[in-house]
Amino acid sequence: MEYTTIMEQTSAQTSASSKHLWWQSGVIYQIYPRSFKDSDGDGVGDIQGIISKLDYLEWLGVDCIWLSPIFSSPMADFGYDISDYRCIHPLFGTMNDLDKLLSEVHHRDMKLLLDLVPNHTSDQHPWFLESRSSRDNPKSDWYIWHDGKEGGSLPNNWLSVFGGNAWEWDELRQQYYYHAFLKQQPDLNWRHPEVQEAMLDMMRFWLEKGVDGFRVDVMWHMIKDEQLRDNPPAPGSPSEAEQLSYDHLMPVYSTDQPEVHDIVRMMRALTNEYDERVLIGEIYLPIDKLVTYYGKDNDESHLPFNFQLLTLPWDALQIAAAIEEYEGALPPDGWPNWVLGNHDKPRISSRVGIAQAKVAALMLLTLRGTPTMYYGDEIGMRDVPIPLDEIVDPQGLNMPDLDISRDPARTPMQWNNQPNSGFSYNKPWLRLPMNFGRVNVEMQKDDAYSQLTFYRALLEIRKENAALHIGSYAPVYADQQLIAYIREWGNDRFLIILNLSHRTAYFKPKSTTYKGTVVLGTEFERGGMQIENIITLGGDEGLLIRLQS
C-alpha cells in the first residue's frame, strides 16, 4: 500500500507543534525500582542505587525517569498495594533519598515521574483499617462495601484481574468489599468527595516537592457503575459457573465509566496549577476509547498511554494500520505517545525476538509522539526463565495454568559480568539469566555493533533533530514486510523504513523518488550509505535516512 498524501500535515500535527514541552519532545525511561540497582546488598534495588546510575541514564540520553511505586507497602503486589502514599518504603530508602534523587535528576536537566495508584490502597492502609472497623465510622464509605444479594451471595458477577471473583467477605464488618486486583488491594470509592480530596491532597504533596508528574495506575478503573450491574459475558466465554478468568466477562460496568472523566479532569486541573507537570494514564482500551482520556477540551490526561506496540501482533500491515488509526483518532491538541515495554508485559526482545529488537527501537523512537522505554530493553534483555518454585508475582501464582507471571520481565538490570551482574553484592530477589556475563551494559557500551550503542546513537540523533522529536508524520508505504514513513520539520526530512520480517525486502515506491543518506541502520555498516530509488533491505533491517532537500 503506497500512500499518496505523503506531504500533507494534518491540522492536529501543526497545531500541536506550535509549542513543545519537555514531555512532548523527550523520552521516558521506566525503572522498576526493585530491579535497577541495589546499593545496600539486600538483594532489592533502591533509590541510592538509582542515584548511582543517573550518570548512565544521562549518558544513554533519556530525558525523564518514571519510577514504579516506592511507597510504604506490604508488597502483596510489589508496591502497587500502598499503605502510606506519603512515605518511602524502607526497602527503597528514605524521604531524604527521594529528595536527593529528585535534585540529582533535576541537576542533570532530567525529569522524575512517580507512580500514582489512586484506584486502590493496601488492605493495611489506615483508611481501610478504619473503613472496615464498623459500618458507621467516618471512613465507612471510602471503599466499595456491599451486603451482597439476598441470601448472602456475591453483590454481582465482577471478576478480579488477578483471578477469581472480585468481592471479598470481611468478617469484621460483615460485608463484601470490591477489589479489582488482589483482595489485599481494596478499591477506593471515588464517588466520595473526601476520597477525592484526600487523593488530590496527596498529589499536591508530591507536586509541591517538585516531582514532574505522575503515571496514573489503571486510570480507566477508577470509578464503577453506581448500580453495580452485572458485566455481560465475553463472546465465546464458558458457562456462568466457570467464568472465573477476567477476560470471560466484558468489564463494561466495572471500568471506563463516563464519570471517570470528571476525576481525571480534577487531577489535571490540579496538575495545571504547577509548571509543566505531566499526567500520564495507564489505560488498556481500544483506540477510540483511549483517546477520550485526552478530554473533550484536552483537559484530562496529557498522555493516555498508547500500548498498541505491546499488544498487537508484530505484523507490518496491522501495525501500519494501527498507526494510521491512532494518528487519525487523536483529538486536535492531543499529543501522541508510544510504549514498547513495561513491568506487566513480556519484554519486546522476547515477544518479537532479538533479531527484531533494533527495528522495534527504531520504530518507538521515530514514530510521532513521546516514547516510553523500559529499563534493560536498551541492552536487549530478554524475559528470564523463572523456575516454578521461584515465582513471586501474585498474577503468576494465582493463575498457574495461564503462565502469566510477570517475574520474567522484572529481573535485575544486567550491568556487568561480575557476580549478580553488578546489580547487588548479594543474591537478588529474582534470578539473572545464565548469559548475563555476555549481555550487559559493560560489554555493550564500547561495542559498535551492540544494541546499547544503537539505542544511544538513536537517542542522540532523535534529540538533535527536531524532525524526529516534534516533526510531522506522514505514512509512505506498507506491505506484509515493510512500514515506511516520513518525519519532517522545516527543511529536514527523514525517511524511516522498517522491515518487520526476517526475509529480505524491496522498498520500491512508484510515485516518488527518494534520495538520501543513511544516518543510522540496524546494521552498523549501513551508516553513511547513499540511497536512491529502490532500496534493498536485509531481513530484520531498519533504516533511518536523511532525505536530500
Neighbour tally for 378: CB within 10 Å: 27
Residues in the chain: 549
Residue 141's SS3 state is coil
Torsion angle, CA of 463/212/258/175, rounded to 10 degrees? Answer: 130
- Sequence-distant (6+) residues with CB within 8 A of 155 are 146, 147, 148, 149, 167, 176, 178, 228
Q: Quote the CA–CA distance of 459 and 27 in Å, as a whole number.
A: 8
User: Of ligand NOJ, Mg ion, none, which one sits near residue 77, judging by CB under 5 to 8 A according to partner kind?
Assistant: ligand NOJ
Give yes or no for a contact between 392 and 430, defined as CB atoms under 8 angstroms apart. Answer: yes
Q: Quote the CA–CA distance of 465 and 478 in Å, as a whole number.
A: 24
Stretch of 13-21, 30-38, 175-183, 226-234 lying at the interface with Mg ion (CB under 5 A): 30-38
User: Of ligand NOJ, Mg ion, none, which one sits near residue 217, judging by CB under 5 to 8 A according to partner kind?
Assistant: ligand NOJ
Shortest reach from residue 280's CB to ligand NOJ, in Å:
12
Which among 196, 211, 188 is positioned nearest to 71, based on CA atoms?
211
Give yes or no for a contact between 303 and 291, defined as CB atoms under 8 angstroms apart. Answer: no
Shortest reach from residue 100's CB to Mg ion, in Å:
15
Work out whether 442 is an interface residue with ligand NOJ (CB under 6 A): no
The C-alpha cell at 407 is: 517475574
Work out whether 397 is an interface residue with ligand NOJ (CB under 6 A): no
Give yes or no for a contact between 364 and 371, defined as CB atoms under 8 angstroms apart. Answer: yes
User: Of Mg ion, ligand NOJ, none, which one sits near residue 212, judging by CB under 5 to 8 A according to partner kind?
Assistant: none
Which among 295, 286, 302, 327 is positioned nearest to 11, based on CA atoms?
327
Q: Quote the CA–CA distance of 455 and 470 in Å, as a whole number.
A: 19
Which among 310, 457, 306, 376 is positioned nearest to 30, based on CA atoms?
376
Work out whether 46 is an interface residue with Mg ion (CB under 5 A): yes
Work out whether 430 is an interface residue with Mg ion (CB under 5 A): no
CA distance readout (Å), 530 to 21, 84, 369, 547:
34, 58, 28, 10
Shortest reach from residue 492's CB to ligand NOJ, in Å:
37
Work out whether 344 is an interface residue with ligand NOJ (CB under 6 A): yes
Q: Please identify which residue in 116, 218, 260, 320 interacts with ligand NOJ, judged by CB under 6 A.
A: 218
Q: In terms of CB distance, is 160 or 440 closer to ligand NOJ?
A: 160
Q: In terms of CB distance, is 358 or 410 closer to ligand NOJ?
A: 410
Give yes or no for a contact between 370 and 24, defined as CB atoms under 8 angstroms apart. Answer: yes
Work out whether 217 is an interface residue with ligand NOJ (CB under 6 A): yes
Work out whether 42 is an interface residue with Mg ion (CB under 5 A): yes
Shortest reach from residue 345's CB to Mg ion, in Å:
25
Q: Rule CB under 6 A: which of 281-310 touch ligand NOJ?
A: 282
Stretch of 41-49, 51-59, 463-471, 480-488 lying at the interface with Mg ion (CB under 5 A): 41-49
Burial, 491: exposed, middle or buried (Cβ in 10 Å; 0-12, 13-18, 19+)? Answer: exposed
Site mask for ligand NOJ (CB under 6 A), range 86-125, x = bound: -------------------------------x--------
Q: Which residue has the cell 522545516?
A: 490
Q: Which residue is nearest to ligand NOJ (CB)?
A: 80
User: Of ligand NOJ, Mg ion, none, which one sits near residue 181, judging by CB under 5 to 8 A according to partner kind?
Assistant: ligand NOJ
* Structure letter (DSSP) for residue 197: H
Q: Please identify which residue in 63, 77, 123, 327 interacts with ligand NOJ, judged by CB under 6 A.
A: 77
Q: Please identify which residue in 32, 181, 294, 338 interacts with ligand NOJ, judged by CB under 6 A.
A: 181
Work out whether 44 is an interface residue with Mg ion (CB under 5 A): yes
Q: In terms of CB distance, is 281 or 521 closer to ligand NOJ?
A: 281
Residues designated as active site: 217, 273
Work out whether 80 is an interface residue with ligand NOJ (CB under 6 A): yes
Shortest reach from residue 444's CB to Mg ion, in Å:
25
- Sequence-distant (6+) residues with CB within 8 A of 245 are 159, 163, 399, 402
Binding residues (CB under 5 A) for Mg ion: these are 38, 40, 42, 44, 46
Kindly list the residues in this chain that would bind ligand NOJ in the complex (CB under 6 A): 77, 80, 117, 181, 217-218, 282, 343-344
